[in-house]
Chain A
Amino acid sequence: MSSDELQGYKKTLNSPYTGIKGWIDSRLPLIRMMEAEYLKFPVPKSLNYFWSFGGIAMFCLIGLILTGIFLGFHYKPSAEDAFDSVERIMRDVSFGWLIRYLHANLVSFFFIATFIHIFRALYFGSYKAPRELVYIFGLTMFMLMMATAFLGYTLPWGQMSYWGATVITNLFSAIPVVGDAILQLLLGDFTVGDSAVNRFYVLHWLLAFAIVGLVVFHVITLHMTGSNNPTGSEPQSWDETVSFHPYVTIKDLNAALFFFIIMAFILFYYPNILGHSDNYIKANPMITPAHIVPEWYFLPFYAILRAIPDKLGGVIAMFGSILALGLLPWLDTSKVRSCLFRPIWRYCVLLFAVNFLVLMYVGGKPADDIYVLISRIGTAYWFLFIFVLAPLVGFLETPRQPLTITNYLQSKKA
């Protein structure tokens, strides 16, 4: 490289700002990055409120971390102390009840936001090229969220904590030959006990922050392509976009506030409605509660686990159900993204959403014949949707010509 070229290359790194802003920005280019990615960033004009749930999920994550830190000031991770320390948070710590109820209910609302967010991605085809990695990072976060929530739920050391942890960690014993050794390695003991709470607490923190790290990748990959929108058509000009700030910021904030008003209603009037009362009984390794159920957000996957009569098979189906969703960008053969223009696939996706709710319902019921049958049909549809319908419907259906963003907005006015 000649010296001129070298100087020219360095010049492109110079800050566009002057003064203190310029001084900082030429040493730490954060200000210009934030301006490009969050203030001026062009976003399709046609976004609807489905697009607010990513931001809402992020608010939930921030809330969980803040409340988690304050819970951590009082929580004691041992089989001996955990339950009592949580009871102390509820009774003796100033506003401890509020912080704990916030943490527990934010988790539920985090999952609600995430489920809607995922549905949005499916319905409007956001998973398709060129946003495959955005989608994959999203699914990865979803799996980490489930792991974090599972670990967190063991911490209060109630009966549901204990037996949920026992049943879920025992899934590893389904692995042929080395299963039991792996289980002992994970628990540091022969059963869920003191050693497990201790390390689950550490991992609960660690994974929560790992999610934060993945949010960064999720957003970097998103900002390489920009947001999808209800039409699935890319913006053709600046006219079809608005700047992220103030248009999207104010809309998302507004949506988030309504969302959190609903959460506040649950939080203040029915703080335990999404939990299980047995978790207010201290863990007893000698007695399993008569009807153990996971937290509501795990129920669809629990239903899939129970649908398969074989232990290893059930575990594979459960984890496979989420992993398989990651193949959708490559299995969906249609050129058209949005379900607005896909007459058959649209109903497949809607049925997938209904099926998800049905699985959630049967997952919370006892393993009686009728519920097992429904969960088998639901599980079958889950995999049929991904491996058969996605490739097939893309070939068979004749999609409508997708509208441009401008035409879509006009047609909505008309």
Chain B
Amino acid sequence: MSNRKKPRRDFIKLSAMTLGGVGAASLLIPFISSMNPGKDTLALASTEIDLSPLEEGQSLTVIWRGKPVFIKHRTKSEIDTAKNTSLDELPDAEEDSARVQKDNWLVVLGVCTHLGCVPLGQKASDTKGDFGGWFCPCHGSHYDTSGRIRKGPAPTNLPVPPYVFLTDNRIKIG
């Protein structure tokens, strides 16, 4: 092989490697992206809920984006315990006032922030855990009357979904 050919050989190697590399990398994007939720799934189906049948102390579970949402009509004492909890006692410190729009209505996602089970506490007969809110039976996470994590492996509070009060007795989630 004569030396004169060397630059051409280098060129063809370099060219094949860059074109192939860039091509493969950019092809990856549409394929990976296709695995994401489709437009139909993303279309934020919002849910409207009539709160009037809920007596004080009662709870309701509704479905939003395929996930359960807990709506709790809190009693006076539940509100007070939530408000009077010192932030030092909370693993994921958050004021109760930052989690509700109206004190007597708590709206949180009913999905344990540990590994996604649905905590118990919606029905009157359910165990509500050590802090009077919810208890996740899967690995033992306790939530308080503000849906905040108090004890157990879950790292964060039950998230509050986006919602608005349409009237005093109607909310729209999403």
Q: Is B23 an interface residue (CB 8 A)?
A: no
Stretch at the interface among B4-12, B50-58, B98-106, B114-122: B114-122
- Which single member of A169, A185, A193, A285 contacts B35 (CB below 8 Å)? A185
Q: In chain A, residues 183-198, which have Cβ atoms closer than 8 Å to a Cβ of chain B?
A: 184-191, 193, 195
Q: Is A414 an interface residue (CB 8 A)?
A: no
Q: Is A291 an interface residue (CB 8 A)?
A: yes
Q: Are A167 and B138 neighbours in the complex by a CB distance under 8 Å?
A: yes
Q: In chain B, residues 33-63, which have Cβ atoms closer than 8 Å to a Cβ of chain A?
A: 35-38, 41, 61, 63
Stretch at the interface among B14-22, B65-73, B77-85, B162-170: B65-73
Stretch at the interface among A42-50, A306-314, A379-387: A306-314
Q: Are B153 and A314 neighbours in the complex by a CB distance under 8 Å?
A: yes
Q: Are B63 and A195 neighbours in the complex by a CB distance under 8 Å?
A: no
Q: Are B138 and A184 neighbours in the complex by a CB distance under 8 Å?
A: no
Q: How far is the CB of A165 from chain B (nearest CB, A)?
A: 10
Given contacts A167-B117, A185-B36, A186-B35, contact A191 B61 (CB under 8 A): no
Given contacts A191-B67, A286-B68, A309-B153, contact A170 B32 (CB under 8 A): no
Q: Are A286 and B37 neighbours in the complex by a CB distance under 8 Å?
A: no
Interface mask (B110-145 → A, CB under 8 Å = 1, otherwise 0): 000011111100000000000000001111100000
Q: Is the interface of B mostly helix, strand, loop or mixed?
A: loop
Q: Is A116 an interface residue (CB 8 A)?
A: no
Given contacts A188-B38, A190-B67, contact A290 B137 (CB under 8 A): yes
- Which single member of B32, B35, B117, B136 contacts A166 (CB below 8 Å)? B117
What residue of chain B has the Cβ atom nearest to residue A291's Cβ? B137
A-side contacts of B136, CB under 8 Å:
288
Q: Are A311 and B66 neighbours in the complex by a CB distance under 8 Å?
A: no
Q: How far is the CA of A180 from the CA of B22 in the complex (A)?
A: 28
B-side contacts of A199, CB under 8 Å:
35
B-side contacts of A290, CB under 8 Å:
137
A-side contacts of B154, CB under 8 Å:
311
Q: Are A311 and B153 neighbours in the complex by a CB distance under 8 Å?
A: yes
Q: How far is the CB of B120 from chain A (nearest CB, A)?
A: 8
Q: Are B117 and A286 neighbours in the complex by a CB distance under 8 Å?
A: no
Q: How far is the CA of A171 from the CA of B116 in the complex (A)?
A: 9
Q: How far is the CA of A168 from the CA of B116 in the complex (A)?
A: 9
Q: In chain A, residues 284-314, which have Cβ atoms closer than 8 Å to a Cβ of chain B?
A: 285-288, 290-292, 306, 309-311, 314
A-side contacts of B118, CB under 8 Å:
286-288
B-side contacts of A314, CB under 8 Å:
153
Q: How far is the CB of A190 from chain B (nearest CB, A)?
A: 5
B-side contacts of A189, CB under 8 Å:
37, 41, 66
- Which single member of A170, A188, A310 contacts B36 (CB below 8 Å)? A188
Q: How far is the CA of A168 from the CA of B139 in the complex (A)?
A: 13
Beyond the given pairs A285-B67, A310-B153, 19 more chain A to chain B contacts, judged by CB atoms under 8 angstroms and listed by A's residue number, are: A167-B115, A167-B116, A169-B116, A185-B32, A185-B36, A187-B37, A188-B41, A189-B37, A190-B66, A191-B65, A191-B116, A285-B66, A286-B68, A286-B118, A288-B119, A291-B137, A292-B138, A311-B115, A367-B139
Q: Which residues of B contact A (CB under 8 A)?
A: 32, 35-38, 41, 61, 63, 65-68, 114-119, 136-140, 153-155
Q: Supply 12 A–B pairs (Cβ within 8 Å), ascending by A.
A: A170-B114, A171-B115, A184-B36, A189-B41, A190-B65, A191-B66, A195-B37, A285-B63, A287-B118, A288-B136, A306-B153, A311-B154
Q: Which residues of A contact B (CB under 8 A)?
A: 163, 166-171, 173, 184-191, 193, 195, 199, 285-288, 290-292, 306, 309-311, 314, 367
Closest 9 CB pairs of A and B: A170-B116, A170-B115, A288-B117, A167-B115, A191-B66, A166-B116, A288-B118, A190-B65, A185-B35
